[in-house]
């Protein structure tokens, strides 16, 4: 073929297929940073990531400052969040949709510590006993008002929800038994295989916790994720750019008012170039407004929380979003109480009692339901919860349903 001859349609089509395949692999890692070769649900995405290993590794390192390890057994993207204080995406129990409590997070940490020293197989009863022993050896838990004695239904349920998360993460694989029976009867045991290959790669930190001297939580977290950087103009610009990339890849929307001083100077000059690079790599659709910008996921394969969604929670979320959008339209400084949202949901529950789940329309349950729905909206970047009050954010206006006025023509 002549070197000056333009590419054929077939070559263009192949290039586009390779680009789409690489984008899917990148989005798969954003959604699930640990892909396992022997996990059926991961098989296609893992194959994509391996095909484009060098390009993906280089892209994540250069643009997001994240390392990507790929072997014949797994692909692990070690993501670090842009905001270590972000609490809008808690661990969730897959069955109930309940966010983890402080006790469940402590149980999760202790369970990981126990499993790190476990054999290839263990039982739920053995895991529970070892966690209990570690708990009793640490007086700080009692000082913090946390108790765990394995005597009550709620305590056993908390442990089971931690185990379910470990099953979801593939740290454990159930061999025999039922966690649900254990909740009601402590003597009902469950047998698991422990996957140390997964366990060893869960922690995404630049420094091991045992090497951190700080005592307070925020100080320890900062030390574990601290990234060395030279104090030069080039390194400062890179730090700003990496922070913005992480926000755009992880967060539903980035608001100008929430950027720090350096970012507010950097964004007007580099916004177009930054968005172009991210769109090219991900296939996302850029959205820019006066208040901020975002990358929308038109494929739905990278989002952990969508809107709109089917079911009671999805319908209620849309209705509350519209309610809050109206309040913000009336006043941009509007602050809404949880009580107002609970009252709104109670009213809507009566209207939709035939279609909504029975547990959310029972009088008195609207307050817990309101907290759950507001947490979904906060995770989507549509509201902020500040000092126990709800602040509707600008992006919520896209869910404001407007009446259409039809003028009659005489």
328 phi, psi to nearest 5 deg: -70, -30
Q: Where are the alpha helices (DSSP H) in 303-365?
A: 311-330, 338-351, 358-361
pLDDT tens per residue, range 185-211: 888 899 999 999 999 999 888 888 888
Q: Is the pLDDT of residue 114 over 70?
A: yes
User: In this structure, is residue 406 part of a structural domain?
Assistant: no
* pLDDT value at residue 402: 56
Q: Where are the alpha helices (DSSP H) in 228-310?
A: 233-250, 261-282
What DSSP string runs through 204-231?
--SS-GGG----SHHHHHHHHH-----S
Structure tokens that stand for 101 in this block: 């409590």
- Structural domain containing residue 74: 9-78
Least confident range from 43-57, 72-86, 205-219: namely 205-219
Task: Tell whether 220 and 121 lie within a shared domain.
Answer: yes
Task: Tell whether 211 and 251 lie within a shared domain.
Answer: no
Domain-ending residue, one of 42, 58, 78? 78
Strand order in the sheet with 121-123: 121-123, 191-194, 172-176
* pLDDT value at residue 406: 39
Q: Is the pLDDT of residue 405 over 50?
A: no
* pLDDT value at residue 400: 74
Q: Are 197 and 74 in contact (CB under 8 A)?
A: yes
Domain-ending residue, one of 247, 271, 296? 296
User: In this structure, is residue 291 part of a structural domain?
Assistant: yes
Task: Tell whether 85 and 210 lie within a shared domain.
Answer: yes
Helices 124-136, 102-116: axis angle to 10 degrees equals 110
User: In this structure, is residue 333 part of a structural domain?
Assistant: yes
Cα separation, 69 vs 67, in Å, equals 7
Kindly calculate the radius of gyration of the chain based on its CA atoms and give it in whole angstroms. Answer: 24
Is the full-model pTM beyond 0.95?
no
The total number of residues written for the chain in this structure: 410
């Amino acid at each position: 073929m002549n070197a000056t001859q333009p590419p054929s349609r077939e070559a263009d089509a192949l290039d586009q297929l390779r680009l789409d395949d690489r984008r899917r692999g990148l989005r798969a890692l954003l959604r699930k940073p640990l892909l396992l070769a022997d996990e059926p649900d991961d098989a296609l995405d893992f194959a994509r990531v391996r095909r484009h290993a060098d390009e993906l590794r280089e892209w994540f390192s250069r643009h997001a400052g994240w390392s990507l390890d790929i072997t014949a057994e797994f692909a692990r993207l070690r993501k670090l969040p842009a905001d270590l204080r972000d609490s809008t995406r808690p661990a969730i129990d897959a069955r109930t949709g309940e966010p983890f409590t402080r006790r469940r997070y402590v149980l999760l940490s202790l369970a990981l510590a126990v499993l790190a020293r476990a054999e290839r197989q263990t039982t739920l009863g053995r895991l529970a006993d070892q966690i209990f022993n570690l708990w009793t050896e640490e007086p700080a838990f009692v000082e913090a008002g946390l108790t765990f004695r394995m005597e009550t239904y709620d305590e056993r349920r908390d442990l089971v929800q931690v185990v379910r998360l470990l099953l979801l993460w593939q740290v454990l694989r159930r061999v025999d038994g039922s966690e649900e029976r254990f909740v009601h009867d402590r003597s009902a045991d469950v047998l698991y295989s422990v996957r140390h290959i997964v366990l060893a790669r869960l922690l995404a930190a630049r420094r091991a916790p045992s090497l951190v001297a700080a005592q307070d939580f925020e100080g320890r977290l900062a030390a574990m994720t601290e990234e060395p950087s030279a104090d030069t103009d080039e390194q400062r610009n890179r730090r700003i750019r990496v922070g913005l990339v992480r926000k755009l890849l992880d967060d539903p929307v980035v608001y100008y008012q929430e950027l720090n001083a350096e970012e507010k100077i950097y964004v007007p000059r580099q916004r177009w170039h930054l968005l172009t690079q991210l769109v090219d790599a991900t296939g996302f659709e850029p959205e820019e407004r006066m208040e901020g910008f975002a990358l929308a996921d038109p494929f739905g394969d990278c989002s952990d929380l969508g809107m709109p969604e089917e079911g009671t929670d999805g319908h209620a979320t849309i209705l509350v979003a519209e309610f809050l959008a109206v309040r913000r339209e009336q006043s941009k400084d509007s602050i809404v109480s949880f009580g107002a949202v609970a009252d709104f949901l109670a009213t809507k529950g009566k209207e939709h009692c035939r279609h909504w789940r029975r547990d959310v329309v029972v009088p008195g349950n609207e307050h817990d339901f309101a907290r759950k729905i507001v947490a979904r909206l906060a995770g989507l970047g549509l509201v902020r919860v500040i000092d126990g009050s709800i602040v509707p954010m600008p992006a919520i206006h896209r869910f404001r349903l407007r009446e259409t006025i039809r003028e009659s023509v005489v």
